[in-house]
């Protein structure tokens, strides 16, 4: 059997997902064949060029027609967040398996409807997952496995940060990621969602409550030009930034352990710095995306003369995903997470089992994002997430 994939959207994430779909069948022994059937975008010439560059058989400009096609099995959504819900709900109703980029939606209400639709579709054998791709970095998966195996004991504290600097220049034009109606939120939802999901993934615990602040450092930016499609502009040549530039918040896990989070696009000199450190009563583990082939491990049980953080080079065949790639010590990169994502998704589709992260897991992240925004709007009070969201502790 051949699974035919439709990619809705292109650009940066479209390129990354295209590499994943193209490479996964070549690297892994997948249970079914995969065909890159069609890529969809609003700009005809641009999407045609993307199809030729990344290896898609067709290009199209109407996602509704593509989703309705009988010859499409998987719909992969990499559009801005304001269209995730509409496309996902249509695809699930049409019986298509769905991979939707993170964050799942622009609001809790949308995410709840998507999660409910995914649960209903699962009863018909339809699989849905959210694209939190950093879970598929071998070192991150290994970190989760080591915590689950008890290597650091009881988790006592978490420190997570995702720092970039691409908005430090005030002349950076206003893009869709800087407008709430398109992106939902700014650094909080775009990159903060990653560290929220990673924390919940590696610890196996939900974040139950948060207290945070957000800020918009540059509040108006130059327009990208006429016909940009951006709304909410004010003043000739400039538009309002309606999302956050930086979000800082504390969280409490189910166990009571505290976690600190930083998501910012104003960390001057930091291009794509994602760091995660988990401290336990028996040791600690630390990950840095800029050193994504390694993991730092501290063992409190080691003899005093050799105690200290040690580097684990996560390139051995025994490490997650690595055996399909190169000999030990030969590094993987950013794009490999998307290959692993495609592999895991295809295996789940063929086996008819849940693909993680599920839409319910994506909804859990959305609830944390919403709670942070609520807290920031109400003098940083502690706000509960989940079913008890917005209740004071």
| CATH number for position 100 | 3.40.50.720
Residue 226: pLDDT over 70: no
Same domain, 30 and 146: no
Strand 2-8 to 74-77 pairing: parallel
Residues contacting 93, CB < 8 A, separation 6+: 117
What is the pLDDT at residue 232? 42
What is the pLDDT at residue 193? 98
Same domain, 33 and 48: yes
Helix axes 44-54, 12-27, angle to 10 degrees: 30
pLDDT band at 236, cuts 50/70/90?
Answer: low
Strand 58-60 to 74-77 pairing: unpaired
- Residue 355 domain-assigned (yes or no): no
Same domain, 207 and 174: yes
Same domain, 15 and 124: yes
Is residue 43 packed enough to be buried (19+ CB in 10 Å), middle (13-18) or exposed (0-12)? exposed
Inter-CA distances, 203 with 60, 119, 357, Å: 42, 24, 14
Residues contacting 369, CB < 8 A, separation 6+: 103, 184, 185, 188, 189, 192, 193, 196
Residue 326: pLDDT over 90: yes
Smallest CA-to-CA distance from 297 within 163, 152, 164 is with: 152
Inter-CA distances, 212 with 142, 302, 372, 376, 393, Å: 30, 37, 6, 5, 14
- Tally the residues of the chain: 393
pLDDT tens per residue across span 94-140 = 999 999 999 999 999 999 999 999 999 999 999 999 999 999 999 99
What is the pLDDT at residue 5? 98
What is the pLDDT at residue 256? 97
pLDDT band at 225, cuts 50/70/90?
Answer: low
- Residue 354 domain-assigned (yes or no): no
**Domain span holding position 296:** 135-330+366-377
The mean pLDDT of 222-248, rounded to a whole number, is 71
- Residue 119 domain-assigned (yes or no): yes
What is the pLDDT at residue 393? 37
Same domain, 140 and 129: no
Mean per-residue pLDDT over the chain, rounded = 94
Residue 372: pLDDT over 70: yes
> For residue 57, what are the β-bridge partners?
none
Q: What is the pTM of this model?
A: 0.94
The mean pLDDT of 275-304, rounded to a whole number, is 97
- DSSP letter at 355? P
Tally of structural domains, the chain: 2
Residue 233: pLDDT over 70: no
Q: Is 358 strand, coil or helix?
A: coil
Residue 10: pLDDT over 70: yes
Same domain, 50 and 174: no
pLDDT band at 386, cuts 50/70/90?
Answer: confident
Same domain, 88 and 33: yes
Q: Is 275 strand, coil or helix?
A: strand
Q: What is the CATH number of the domain that holds 212?
A: 3.30.360.10
Same domain, 39 and 163: no
- Residue 349 domain-assigned (yes or no): no
Q: Is 8 strand, coil or helix?
A: strand
End residue of a domain, out of 74, 106, 134: 134
End residue of a domain, out of 134, 163, 188: 134
- Is residue 166 within 8 Å of 186, Cβ to Cβ? no
- Is residue 137 within 8 Å of 197, Cβ to Cβ? no
In angstroms, the first-to-last Cα distance of the chain is: 53
Residue 183: pLDDT over 90: no
CA–CA dist 58, 50 (Å, integer): 10
């Amino acid at each position: 059997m051949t699974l035919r994939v439709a990619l809705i959207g292109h650009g940066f994430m479209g390129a990354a997902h295209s590499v994943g779909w193209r490479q996964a069948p070549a690297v892994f022994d997948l249970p079914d064949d995969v065909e890159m059937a069609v890529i969809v975008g609003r700009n005809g010439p641009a999407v045609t060029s993307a199809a030729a560059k990344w290896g898609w058989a067709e290009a199209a400009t109407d996602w509704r027609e593509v989703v309705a096609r009988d010859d499409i099995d998987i719909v992969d959504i990499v559009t801005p967040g304001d269209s995730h819900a509409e496309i996902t709900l249509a695809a699930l109703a049409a019986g298509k398996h769905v991979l939707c980029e993170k964050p799942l939606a622009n609001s809790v209400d949308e995410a709840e409807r998507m999660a409910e639709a995914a649960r209903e579709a699962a009863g018909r054998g339809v699989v849905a997952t959210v694209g939190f791709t950093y879970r598929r970095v071998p070192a991150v998966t290994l970190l989760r496995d080591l915590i689950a195996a008890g290597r650091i004991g009881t988790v006592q504290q978490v420190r997570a940060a995702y720092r970039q600097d691409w908005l430090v220049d005030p002349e950076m034009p206003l893009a869709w990621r800087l407008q709430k109606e398109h992106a939902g939120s700014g650094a909080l939802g775009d990159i903060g969602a990653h560290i929220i999901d990673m924390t919940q993934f590696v610890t196996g615990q939900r974040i139950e409550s948060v207290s945070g602040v957000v800020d918009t450092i540059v509040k108006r930016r130059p327009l990208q030009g006429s016909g940009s499609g951006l709304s909410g502009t004010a003043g000739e040549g400039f538009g309002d930034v309606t999302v956050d530039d930086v979000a800082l918040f504390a969280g409490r896990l189910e166990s009571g352990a505290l976690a600190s989070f930083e998501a910012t696009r104003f960390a001057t000199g930091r291009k794509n710095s994602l760091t995660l450190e988990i401290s336990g009563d028996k040791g600690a583990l630390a990950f840095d995306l800029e050193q994504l082939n390694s993991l730092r491990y501290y063992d409190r049980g080691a003899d005093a003369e050799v105690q200290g953080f040690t580097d684990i080079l996560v390139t051995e065949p025994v490490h997650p995903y690595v055996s399909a790639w190169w000999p030990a010590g030969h590094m993987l990169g950013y794009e490999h997470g998307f290959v692993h994502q495609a592999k895991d998704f295809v295996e789940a589709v063929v086996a008819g089992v849940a693909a993680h992260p599920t839409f319910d897991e994506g909804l859990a992240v959305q609830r944390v994002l919403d709670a942070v925004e609520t807290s920031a709007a109400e003098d940083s009070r502690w706000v509960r997430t989940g079913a008890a969201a917005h209740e004071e502790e």
